[in-house]
Structure 1
Amino acid sequence: MTTDPKIMMDKPIIKGTRITVELIVDKIASGEPIDEILIDYPRLTRESI
């Protein structure tokens, strides 16, 4: 996880992406399986989630 004021309004993002931690947490909280998240966001790894 990292932040950068120039990327996604300084929200925490998964390092090396423009995918916010908030987005992934919301998907997991809503019950979306990690395997489906990995299909939707191929730049992510299981470890990054």
Structure 2
Amino acid sequence: MDINTLITVDPDTLGGQPVFTGTRVPVESLFDHLEAGVSLDEFLDDFPTVTKEQAVAVLELANRLLTSKNIAQLYAAVA
């Protein structure tokens, strides 16, 4: 999946916070749940508008970004 089909950033939706496309669920909620020890299935139960495919694709995207050889560029972009 393409990031543009996974994540939407719209100033009129939650003040521009990145959300799963087609929902009002912040992407950050997925990571917050996982960090708290909540399983992916529980997250999906809590947010039924997010599909498993969307959640897995976002996790795969995060994995690719954070394990990229160009990670220094990512850090520089957010600093």
Normalized against structure 1, the TM-score is what?
A: 0.88
Paired position in structure 2 for 1:22: 28
Say if 2:61 is the partner of 1:48: no
Normalized against structure 2, the TM-score is what?
A: 0.58
Any runs of at least 4 consecutive aligned residues in structure 1 with deviations exceeding 4 A, and if so which? none
Matched residue count: 49
Identity %: 37
CA drift of 1:2 comes to: 1.2
Q: Which has the higher strand share?
A: 2
Kindly provide the amino acid, as one letter, of the partner of residue 47 in structure 2.
Answer: Y
Q: Which runs of 5+ in 2 are unaligned?
A: 1-6, 56-79
Instruction: Report 1:2-13 matches (<5 A).
Output: 2-13=8-19
Q: Which has the higher helix share?
A: 2
Kindly provide the amino acid, as one letter, of the partner of residue 17 in structure 2.
Answer: K
Paired position in structure 2 for 1:39: 45
Q: Which runs of 5+ in 1 are unaligned?
A: none
Question: Distance in 1 between the 2:26 and 2:14 partners?
Answer: 7
* Cα RMSD, aligned residues only: 0.8
CA drift of 1:46 comes to: 1.0
